[in-house]
Structure 1
């Protein structure tokens, strides 16, 4: 499949996930629940007696696969749905629940002005009701295309250039808010230096 310009071999992702002891069965598909927004979704059946740890799986994949091959969503199901022919019934796979990804971390409300602003922008871009300071943009539905939208919205709100790469370096809300505050301080200092030189 092709997602955001990258050719992706789904079997490679499935093989990587199948290598974890906690995973019994796995299927990875590209879903397009919103027009023009294709996302990788992994469907997992836990190995007998094992409990799935999505954070561990996501971190493990990030060590061996490029970021664009790490699924956006991980959905735990009791069994993979099959067609009468015994093949995977892709149409029977449930849509991922964004709230489930957000629930992977305990919710802490935004505290500073910068965190509140970033949270508002994330909610708008991701189409979710709330985000907490420990949420990771890419773990709750974000991707590189949406990261560009966040960057544009922050630029509009602050009249400040927040590079898209900042989102990848600081994917957690509190990290990004700190980075935005640092950029604001640097921008103010630059303006102040310019005014001092002009005097």
Structure 2
């Protein structure tokens, strides 16, 4: 799974080989900074041309984050492709010639790119999408630009001008838009839901107790396991993230609202594989959630052998998404390793409260009028 989509790398390889001029191709999945990314290798055609052709053949989520040109392919002693020996992204094969920023705007923009892409240095002619960028990272970049420059850059401009040099010119011509930070909401019994949560709430009612909007994850754990520490880690995560202590109901007007609980019952489930297959154990773990009962999150461990376990996690989509899952897995690892995590200044319900206020403003009304007209 890449960013929530189930992907078959062989399908992308077949698309690459169908491009005229590509003599050989391979696709692997690499995990950089805790996030799985697609990495493609091609021989015979430049990476920009390969990307351009792929975009006509595949949906956006199947376009590899990195496309590396190769002439020498690593092989095993038996003559097969040695996928483990393929060069990692970020090396010489994956870099344009570095051109340093020439002014303050380009320098600040390069730094923002490095924060979002989690790699550097970034030259002014580097392509955001060649360096591992995608739509979610582009959205994060737009948010950082608004904060740093006080200019609202439309998302489409990142796709149209995907270099530091190109975006710097967009920023210099952009209209000022004061950055507004989301503030923590005052404490109350219930809070509004975001537009995305409202949609999810309605869809779950229509599904009537199904599991179509569950977000399960299975992690293989090898080595010695401390179950007491693991149980404590999940309790820390629940205490840290309000979303893991949230339930949903409707108010007197029939509108969905969310309730944040100070404490929620949580049982870390443990079992032994027994006669089941690993797939059967994972499938049995996925059960419907009752949106009115927090937590909408569960975790458990299945012992396969003394040195191998399956960690099972499941959440409802109304409190999480693909980014949330990656965040939780990363923080789980850090807490299990006894690391301290920085405090969270805002939580998701603060965004929902901010969004409710935004819907009453002129900007929202202008956008609403535009779409109704369209």
The two structures have a TM-score, normalised by structure 1, of 0.71
**Is residue 12 of structure 2 the alignment partner of residue 13 of structure 1?**
yes
SS of the aligned residue for 1:122 comes to: helix
Q: 1:127 to 1:160 in 2, by over 3 A?
A: same
C-alpha deviation, 1:118, in angstroms: 1.0
> How far apart are the structure 1 equivalents of 2:121 and 2:57?
31
> How far apart are the structure 1 equivalents of 2:46 and 2:165?
23
Which structure would you say has the larger Rg? Answer: 2
Does the 8 Å CA contact 1:23/1:52 hold for their aligned counterparts?
yes
**Where in structure 2 are there 5+ consecutive unaligned residues?**
178-374
Does the 8 Å CA contact 2:47/2:67 hold for their aligned counterparts?
yes
C-alpha deviation, 1:142, in angstroms: 1.8
| Equivalent residue, structure 2, for 1:78 | 72
> How far apart are the structure 2 equivalents of 1:155 and 1:30?
32
Does the 8 Å CA contact 1:72/1:142 hold for their aligned counterparts?
yes
> Map of 1:1-199 to 2, 5 A cutoff?
2-35=1-34, 37-44=35-42, 46=43, 51-75=44-68, 76=70, 78-79=72-73, 81=75, 90-103=83-96, 106-183=97-174, 186-187=175-176
Choose 170-179 or 18-27, whichever is displaced more: 18-27
Q: 1:129 to 1:93 in 2, by over 3 A?
A: closer
> How far apart are the structure 1 equivalents of 2:62 and 2:172?
31
C-alpha deviation, 1:21, in angstroms: 4.5
- The alignment covers a number of residue pairs equal to 176
- What per-residue deviation string (whole Å, max 9, x for no partner) do you get for residues 148-169 of structure 1? 3322322221233334443223
Q: 1:113 to 1:94 in 2, by over 3 A?
A: closer
The two structures have a TM-score, normalised by structure 2, of 0.41
Give the alignment's Cα RMSD to 1 decimal: 2.8
Does the 8 Å CA contact 2:29/2:37 hold for their aligned counterparts?
yes
Q: 1:83 to 1:12 in 2, by over 3 A?
A: farther
SS of the aligned residue for 1:11 comes to: helix
> How far apart are the structure 2 equivalents of 1:23 and 1:164?
31
> How far apart are the structure 1 equivalents of 2:16 and 2:138?
26
Does the 8 Å CA contact 2:33/2:118 hold for their aligned counterparts?
no
> How far apart are the structure 2 equivalents of 1:99 and 1:131?
14
Q: 1:80 to 1:175 in 2, by over 3 A?
A: same
> How far apart are the structure 2 equivalents of 1:124 and 1:99?
21
SS of the aligned residue for 1:23 comes to: coil
> How far apart are the structure 2 equivalents of 1:131 and 1:99?
14
SS of the aligned residue for 2:110 comes to: helix
Does the 8 Å CA contact 2:74/2:83 hold for their aligned counterparts?
no
